[in-house]
Amino acid sequence: MTQSPPDIADRTALARNRARAGGDLFLHDLAREELQLRLSEVNRRFTQPAVICGLPQVWGDFLPGARVVADDPVLALERGAHDLVIHAMSLHWASDPVGQLVQARHALRPDGLFLAVLPGGQTLAELRAALAQAEVELTGGLSPRVLPMAELRDLGALLQRAGFALPVADVTSQQVQYRALRTLFGDLRAMGEQNALAARRRNSAPRRLFDRAAEIYAAHFADPAGLLRATFDLVFLTGWAPAENQPKPLRPGSAQTRLADALGATERPLRDPPKPAPKD
């Protein structure tokens, strides 16, 4: 019997946060621009797109005529109905990201394109460190306050596990400067990205916690002018629904031509590298 993965998000709290989103959505704007650029580089016209997202007010107009569905655990997508599926800025809240990717692949026709964008990597690493240090100092313990972020390599592996062909994962990094920590919190509220972790503490945090976190943040993550830096990494995932006419990687050892012959080069045996001089 297969066990369901534990819930990462409190879906009720997440829905409440998202309902209040609005204002400066710079990270979503950057994600939209990058996705448009990537789509412009694909030599294909898509006629049946779908967009999976948590903020339909932001992504509903991204692709004309697209079917827009919520990032529910069970996606409201029909099998084989689409030639393009985009998972937009919500996969990081999924308790079962592989399940989300598998459902997206099933919704694609053969040789259909899947694109996802989500925060990952070092996103909010500075905030996570400052809050953790402040809480340990004040309470002697830790509680979940910032959503854990997946690394690029792990996210790329998810594409393979989900059965996509020609999987690619890459990242673009953005550093934003803030005059005060409360402005960063304001941006997170605007994007519906406040703490909605299922394991979070439900009682209100003491005000001193955030005051101390602001002090730590300023001490470790500020430039000479006193501006606080915050890192946002956007991870992009690309994969194709398998199809017979797609290029296939060659079997290791199946090459019929030596690389040296193809390049017109002469092979020479490697010499042993010189030993480094001992250090004083």
Taking only the tens place, the pLDDT of each residue in 7-47 is: 999 999 999 999 999 988 999 999 999 999 999 999 999 99
Task: Specify the pLDDT at position 276.
Answer: 39
In the chain, the N- to C-terminal Cα span, in Å, equals: 62
The strand pair at 228-240 and 165-178 is best described as antiparallel
C-alpha dihedral over 99, 101, 104, 105, to 10 degrees? -110
Task: Specify the pLDDT at position 5.
Answer: 79
Residue 269 in tokens: 């045996």
Greatest Cα pair distance, the chain, in angstroms, is 71
To the nearest whole number, what is the mean pLDDT of the chain? 90
- Helix spans in the chain (H): 11-19, 26-40, 56-59, 97-106, 125-139, 152-161, 181-190, 207-220, 259-263
Using the structure block, give the residue that is written with the tokens 């995932």. 237
279 — pLDDT class (breaks 50, 70, 90) = very low
For 150-182, what is each residue's pLDDT tens digit? 999 999 999 999 999 999 999 999 999 999 999
